[in-house]
Structure 1
Amino acid sequence: MSEPENAGGFPRPRSGGLAPVLVSAGAILVVVAWLLVRGDDELFFGYLGGPIAMAAGTYACLRIARVRLPRPVHAFWRRMTLVGVFLLIAAVVALLRANNNTGLSLHVALPTLAGLGLLIFTFLTLPGRQTTPVALLRALLDGLTVAVASALIFWYVVFDLAPADTSMAARLVAAVVGVGGVLLLVTVGKAAAAPDTAVDGTALRVLTAAPIACVAATILMIAGDDRSRMALSVLVLPIVGTALAVSAYLQRRALQRPAAPPTPASNRSLFNLLPFVAVAATTGLVISVSAQDMNARQRTVVIGALLIAGCVVARQLLSLRENTLALRGIRHQQAELERLALSDNLTGLPNRARFTVALAERIDAAEPAAALLIDIDDFKMINDTLGPAAGDQMLFQVAQRLRAQCTAGEMPVRLGGDEFAVLLPTDDPAAAESAAGRALQALADPFTVGEQHLLVHASAGIAIAEPGATADEVLRNADIAMYAAKEAGKASWARFEPRMRQDMVNHAMLAGELRNGIARGELRLLYQPIYDLVTGRLHGAEALVRWQHPERGFVSPADFIPVAERTGLIVPLGAWVLREACSQLARWRATYGDRTVESVNVNVAVRQLREVGFVDEVAAVLSETGLSPRNLIIEVTESSVVDGWQVRETLRALHEMGVHLALDDFGTGQSSLSLLRAFPVDVLKLDKSFVDGIAEGADRGRLAVAAAVAQLAEHLQLKAVAEGIENQEQLNRLRDMGYRYGQGFFMSRPVPADDYAALMAADPVRA
């Protein structure tokens, strides 16, 4: 039966796994109890714990090896299972020969040696360890030094301390087992101290019990008395089996936890001293062997040679310490440089490079991932008006809020400028959308920057990492979705859809053509007449920009105005419209005198209102054209008025200059009495959707809104203009409601400047 899968795409092992641990630990307790109450003819029961514990440990390794893991980790536990099989064979052989036990058995030693050899190879090829050829050669030389020293010591001990009736084969096997145990202890110890292995570190440390038991058993089998020899012979394999079971259990627990960040390198200087310890031990052995047959002169020479060797070793130890301290400093500096390279200095968040690496790692590991890209709307305005220091302060607060709202597994980053992102460990669209809403909600409250309380908005884009995608592609898709959210009205989020990419390409092409069109003079203004509904005379004109593309033909404003706003082309486009409309009104006034309309209406986008020099630009245009500020009416939407304090300050400055301000499409936005009282408005333009609803039998709700707007304008002493009048009935009812001015196709469509001049001499409305 297969294991259930975890969120990372690899099967998550079921909870539990304690049964092999309990069985092997129980085997040890049984053996200990047997040692306390045993009889001389009951050896079979003493050796029974070995096969039981080894079977439990081997089964635990087999279970963890059957979980679908990264290939190197899977190979590690497969080899550990094979190690358990070799040692299980040794335990079974020992059990079968229990009543014929005469010391160290070659039949038991051979499978034990095979298991030790495979165990050493397994740890030398431990997954996740990265080393250079020089470091590998150094490790081999260290191992060779320790092996030779251990071999000499064990060989001497075997021949000196082993019982006289011990065979040569048994002596040789004992020495080899002892050397293998020492090598294994060094290998496992160094692996357990390494921070860069894919296998759980705690599981590796538990495995050090195996070589310790082997070395102890070998020594006592050779030099111990009958009681200690018996205790170790029956306890060593249960201990090893329990170590296997516990380590497999710890690895299973580690797989059930989320991946922890890399730990700093542990202090491994003790292992670097092992060759020197081996030299010292071998020197002691030389002294012990040679001192028995040396005279005084020979002892003097040996002592002098040892002193020289000691001085050389001491010097090498000092050099090793200096190198260790220098290397530690270099590693600290390298870690600091890596931290600086992967983090943002201003906010302390990870940066774009760290985000890209983390996202790529999740994609490569087939783990679910999504990118949430967040852009602060109109951040440039804050920098331009309050200065870079205030902008930095705000970005820092944004980072704090994003970090605070992130849940486990989510990683907030600053990509640069006013762009942030969150790496989401999910491929569920609903979960990603929930995270986007949570992030935007965290940024909704006002920010305190100095003495200013700033209400800003953010737009977000979501992109799910599809199989085979690269990190750059996912981030680019999130960027496309974010711009789609901005086009939809900002302060919102959008999830990437494939069609958005083509829309982005189309918009980019249209933006390039629009830029060229502005330069080539492909745009022109039409003028929508605004009439006095009481007298029927022309009262004003609304300037409307149109684009006649040489290849596309007529391009709707609904298509190119959003592109202009998103790309910033609305600023030069709007400047051209303002200058052209004012210039045209000045020409009409010069030609027609008193018969000329009183004012011209120009629509201004919020992007223009955020430009620092917009007020000065309007003043310059009025001065150049010779118009009075009262001849210009700037139309803005309700959403522009509530966009931020900078826009309101710009509008207030225009009003103080004498320019009249009109709220366009009134009734469709965030209208409120407090807004009208705070905003220096002069004209309310009723949206066409309410005009459509005032015919006979129409929606009573729309009719009530239309009447209320007229009454509101009258009480606030504002002009009320009705848009989109399409028939005589609408005109009559609007006039009866109190609307003095109106515009619509019923009276006139938008016309070129020359045609508008002809209208000024006509009387198109018969009231």
Structure 2
Amino acid sequence: MAAEQVQRLRVTPVLAGAVLAVAWTAAYCVVNGTATVLPPILGWPGASLATLMAMIGCLRVTRSPKLTEATRRLWLHLSIVTGLVVVATVSNAYDSAAGPYAPTQQPGPVTAAGYVTAMFAVLWALLRLPVGPRRRSGRLGRFLLDAGAVVICAGVAAFFAATRSGDAWTTSTRLLVPVVGFVVLGLVVALAFTKVAISGFGDVDRWSIRLLAGATLAGGVASGVSPSLVVGEPQLNSAMLAIPGVMCVVAFAADRQWRAAGVPQPPRVRRPYSLVPYAAVAATDGLLLVVAAEAGPTTLVVAAAVVALTALVVVRQVLALCHNRRLLDRVDANLVEMNRYQAELTHRANHDALTGLPNRALYEQESQRMLDGLAQLGTLGVALIDLDDFKAVNDRLGHTVGDMLLVGVAQRLRECLRRFDIVARLGGDEFALLLPGLSGTEAAAVLDRVQAALARPVHAAGHDLLIRASIGLAEARPGLEAAELLRRADLAMYAAKERGKGRYAVYDAELEQHHALDAQLGAELRQALDAGGFSLVYQPIVHAPDGEWASLETLVRWHHPERGTIPPDTFIRIAERTGLIVPLGDWIMRTACRQAADWLDRFGDAAPPAVAVNVSARQLREPGFAVDVAQALHAAGLAPDRLTVEVTETAVFEGGSTLDTLHALADLGVGIALDDFGTGHSSLGLLRTCPAQTLKLDKSFVDSICGGSQESVIAAALIQITDGLHLDAVAEGVETAEQAAALRRLGYRYLQGYLFARPMTPDLVEARLHAGHRQAA
């Protein structure tokens, strides 16, 4: 509990001095209670000493390092108030014991001014306590209403007391108004302290404020009662009697605040109504009954009825206020819950549910906001991140592992950025970074950290996964829209992928020009596909050593009417990016099947035994691809075993639907060949899951086959694997007789390359068929 954390009360010089002052005053009253034994001036040191101790105690509190500035300022004001009271008590001592009218209860101008200024200073300090801007005016208004009730009640009581003992008051004070004024002000100040004690404020100790409120209330009451007690005893003074006790309590309140500094205050209990007006009404009703009783039975009955009606109205109002409070509490609770739901919905609308990162909508808002403030930011970098081969993780290990991988990547990205940078998940495995205030070089340094962070294995659902990312970086320019800036980063990211993945590229004008050419080429590719602008050529795969054709690999060519022959590496890449590879691949498949069937009809056993068609990963992912191949074979009248589908090992490595499609093709009787083997992931596990009958050794291993290099070792290892797994091995890119001889010595029985034939048009193939296609290997 907070109260249990407050330091225990200990005797201090300040507290000892305050208690000594009270004891001094008590001893003086005992000695001079009935007659003037000691000089009246000796009754005042207790008041001055107690006030001085209270001032020192308040100043001590202001030096506590554990208090907030507002609380420290309050106690500084209270120390000033006690200083004013010190001056006022000295002046009061002079007025009552040595002044021109001594002995008297009447305060002089300096004394009255000191007391009144002190009371108004207390009010000013309490009303200055900071509250929310929406509550200050309402709190002040409620306080003034309560203060008005106190003033009226105290005024009526003072008037009643004056009418009952006016001679005694006038004789002892020589002036009624100052006493009544002190009483009213004292009660108002006590009300202010009570308000603070009830409502609570920051780290102001509640018990300290309660002690101050009680002391002020006691002082105000004593100011009104003391004149009646000291009538006929001029050696006693009301201030002399009241101030020591009041200031002793102030000293204890200051000590309590010092001991409670830094201790959390308990939450306040909200009350739906203020007790002050009802207390004032009750006091006035009691006074009314006293007056009515003196006036006679009739007046007493009427007054009692008025009091009873007033009590009923008060009870009814209190019940209504309590009921309203319960309703308001329910409304407040509902509003809080609605606000919580609203905040949650807003967060969900703007953040990714899996990673907790901002989503595309929030990214676009923040991106546009930063672009609008680009003049203040100076620069803004946008990076688009795409995880390479992420689909393979989902297909091989499941979406749960893939989701955990995305969460791990998101955490890595957060760790690489500054506090005010933004990382968002745009969807799938795409992330975007907003890097305000960074130049191109500085942003590149951030991307280096990102690449280094992603190079470490990511633990996801029991798997330690290695992930790479292709990143595109674009720098904002004045006048750019958020969508255009993201497009530029996307363009740079695809350039990074084309350069080999696992790296980043920066957008520039050359990249834009290259993209524009690609876009134009993509549009012309679509036109060429519709207009029949493509043709097929065929390159033989031969038996070693007799040179007989084992099959023909189908290759596509595009002769542009203006640009001339466009290399396949150029337009195939564009076709895959635009999705045109699907209709282009379908045309290649159907045309090759028709051509193979035609040669079989015309040349019989002399026709090529089979044709091989290259198929991209994009085609393999198309639903119903195996059905389309079956339809092409049926339409051409070609047996499935006369068709081989060549796929890259990278395409097969994705697994999932790709492998399902290959198995469906194998079930049809179509041959499967893994092309460019050794240049991709090279996972031997592929040979267990992929229904391949043929492996094609990439040209890069054939080029150095005669030099005893590492490539020759790999080529030798591959032939051992294929023999052990009963697979056919084809060596691609054979250009010299020495290479062919070396490959035959290693055990290769199928070769392909310029040494035997360059890709041939159908007419050249037919001419070779007429002449006999044997060529020594």
What TM-score do you get using the length of structure 1 for normalisation? 0.67
User: Which residue does 1:644 correspond to in 2?
Assistant: 655
User: Which residue does 2:699 correspond to in 1?
Assistant: 688
User: Which residue does 1:219 correspond to in 2?
Assistant: 217
Compared with structure 1, are the counterparts of its residues 148 and 115 closer, same or farther at alpha carbon in structure 2 (3 Å cutoff)? Answer: same
Aligned AA (2:128): L
Pairing partner for 1:618 from 629, 636, 650? 629
**Worse overlay, 420-429 or 567-576:** 420-429
Pairing partner for 2:642 from 606, 631, 636? 631
Deviation per residue, 1:578-614 (Å, 9 max, x gap): 2232223233334444443222211222333233412
User: Which residue does 2:233 correspond to in 1?
Assistant: none
Pairing partner for 2:59 from 47, 51, 55? 51
Pairing partner for 1:731 from 740, 760, 767? 740
Deviation per residue, 1:647-676 (Å, 9 max, x gap): 333322322321111111122344465543
The answer on 1:656 being equivalent to 2:667 is yes
For the residue of structure 2 that corresponds to 1:230, the secondary structure is helix
The answer on 1:230 being equivalent to 2:247 is yes
Check the 8 A contact 2:545/2:776 in 1, yes or no: no
Pairing partner for 2:613 from 590, 597, 602? 602
Pairing partner for 1:300 from 301, 305, 308? 305
**Worse overlay, 428-437 or 732-741:** 428-437
Compared with structure 1, are the counterparts of its residues 631 and 456 closer, same or farther at alpha carbon in structure 2 (3 Å cutoff)? Answer: farther
For the residue of structure 2 that corresponds to 1:736, the secondary structure is helix
Q: Aligned runs of 1:14-33 on 2, under 5 Å?
A: 31-32=14-15
1:512 Cα deviation from its structure 2 partner: 5.9
User: Which residue does 2:285 correspond to in 1?
Assistant: 287
Compared with structure 1, are the counterparts of its residues 330 and 488 closer, same or farther at alpha carbon in structure 2 (3 Å cutoff)? Answer: farther
Check the 8 A contact 2:391/2:654 in 1, yes or no: no
Deviation per residue, 1:113-140 (Å, 9 max, x gap): 4443432xx3123xxxxx7xxxx7xx85
Pairing partner for 1:442 from 460, 474, 477? 460
Cα separation, 2, equivalents of 1:124 and 1:99: 36
Compared with structure 1, are the counterparts of its residues 432 and 701 closer, same or farther at alpha carbon in structure 2 (3 Å cutoff)? Answer: closer
Check the 8 A contact 2:642/2:670 in 1, yes or no: yes
For the residue of structure 2 that corresponds to 1:663, the secondary structure is strand
Check the 8 A contact 2:585/2:619 in 1, yes or no: yes
Aligned AA (1:283): V
Aligned AA (1:600): V
Unaligned runs of 5+ in 1: 1-20, 62-79, 126-130, 190-203, 252-265, 447-454
Q: Aligned runs of 1:426-441 on 2, under 5 Å?
A: 432=450, 436=454, 440-441=458-459
Q: Aligned runs of 1:321-360 on 2, under 5 Å?
A: 321-326=326-331, 328-329=333-334, 331-332=336-337, 335-336=340-341, 338-340=343-345, 342-343=347-348, 356=362
Deviation per residue, 1:677-729 (Å, 9 max, x gap): 5533221111111111113xx25321122223234334443322111223332
The answer on 1:703 being equivalent to 2:733 is no
Aligned AA (1:543): T
Cα separation, 2, equivalents of 1:668 and 1:517: 32
Cα separation, 2, equivalents of 1:519 and 1:439: 47
For the residue of structure 1 that corresponds to 2:551, the secondary structure is strand
User: Which residue does 2:542 correspond to in 1?
Assistant: 531
Check the 8 A contact 2:425/2:432 in 1, yes or no: no
The percentage of counterpart residues that share the same residue type is 28
What TM-score do you get using the length of structure 2 for normalisation? 0.66
For the residue of structure 2 that corresponds to 1:693, the secondary structure is coil
For the residue of structure 2 that corresponds to 1:124, the secondary structure is coil
Deviation per residue, 1:443-496 (Å, 9 max, x gap): 6749xxxxxxxx999978799999999999999899778877877888x7x668
Cα separation, 2, equivalents of 1:457 and 1:650: 26
Compared with structure 1, are the counterparts of its residues 307 and 424 closer, same or farther at alpha carbon in structure 2 (3 Å cutoff)? Answer: farther
Deviation per residue, 1:551-587 (Å, 9 max, x gap): 7765544445455445544433332322232223233
Compared with structure 1, are the counterparts of its residues 694 and 354 closer, same or farther at alpha carbon in structure 2 (3 Å cutoff)? Answer: closer
Cα separation, 1, equivalents of 2:73 and 2:461: 60
Cα separation, 2, equivalents of 1:312 and 1:397: 64
Aligned AA (1:654): L
The CA RMSD measured in Å over matched residues stands at 5.8
For the residue of structure 1 that corresponds to 2:582, the secondary structure is helix
Cα separation, 2, equivalents of 1:508 and 1:352: 31
Aligned AA (1:273): P
For the residue of structure 1 that corresponds to 2:141, the secondary structure is helix
Cα separation, 1, equivalents of 2:481 and 2:49: 67
The answer on 1:578 being equivalent to 2:589 is yes
Compared with structure 1, are the counterparts of its residues 480 and 404 closer, same or farther at alpha carbon in structure 2 (3 Å cutoff)? Answer: closer
User: Which residue does 2:142 correspond to in 1?
Assistant: 145
Compared with structure 1, are the counterparts of its residues 422 and 320 closer, same or farther at alpha carbon in structure 2 (3 Å cutoff)? Answer: farther
Check the 8 A contact 1:27/1:238 in 2, yes or no: no
Check the 8 A contact 1:381/1:611 in 2, yes or no: no
User: Which residue does 1:194 correspond to in 2?
Assistant: none
Aligned AA (2:304): R
Check the 8 A contact 2:84/2:117 in 1, yes or no: no
Aligned AA (1:290): L
Alignment coverage as a number of residue pairs: 660
Check the 8 A contact 1:145/1:278 in 2, yes or no: no
The answer on 1:123 being equivalent to 2:131 is yes
For the residue of structure 1 that corresponds to 2:144, the secondary structure is helix
Check the 8 A contact 2:455/2:467 in 1, yes or no: no
Cα separation, 2, equivalents of 1:552 and 1:279: 97
User: Which residue does 2:273 correspond to in 1?
Assistant: 274
The answer on 1:310 being equivalent to 2:315 is yes
Compared with structure 1, are the counterparts of its residues 760 and 407 closer, same or farther at alpha carbon in structure 2 (3 Å cutoff)? Answer: closer
For the residue of structure 1 that corresponds to 2:622, the secondary structure is coil
For the residue of structure 1 that corresponds to 2:734, the secondary structure is coil
Deviation per residue, 1:512-557 (Å, 9 max, x gap): 6655554454444343333334233443322233455667765544
Pairing partner for 1:740 from 749, 752, 755? 749
Compared with structure 1, are the counterparts of its residues 115 and 659 closer, same or farther at alpha carbon in structure 2 (3 Å cutoff)? Answer: same
Cα separation, 1, equivalents of 2:669 and 2:533: 32
1:625 Cα deviation from its structure 2 partner: 1.0
User: Which residue does 2:726 correspond to in 1?
Assistant: 717
Compared with structure 1, are the counterparts of its residues 489 and 495 closer, same or farther at alpha carbon in structure 2 (3 Å cutoff)? Answer: closer
Which structure would you say has the larger Rg?
2
**Worse overlay, 459-468 or 505-514:** 459-468
1:626 Cα deviation from its structure 2 partner: 1.1
Cα separation, 2, equivalents of 1:444 and 1:640: 26
Unaligned runs of 5+ in 2: 25-45, 93-113, 162-168, 223-241, 293-299, 437-442
User: Which residue does 1:91 correspond to in 2?
Assistant: 79
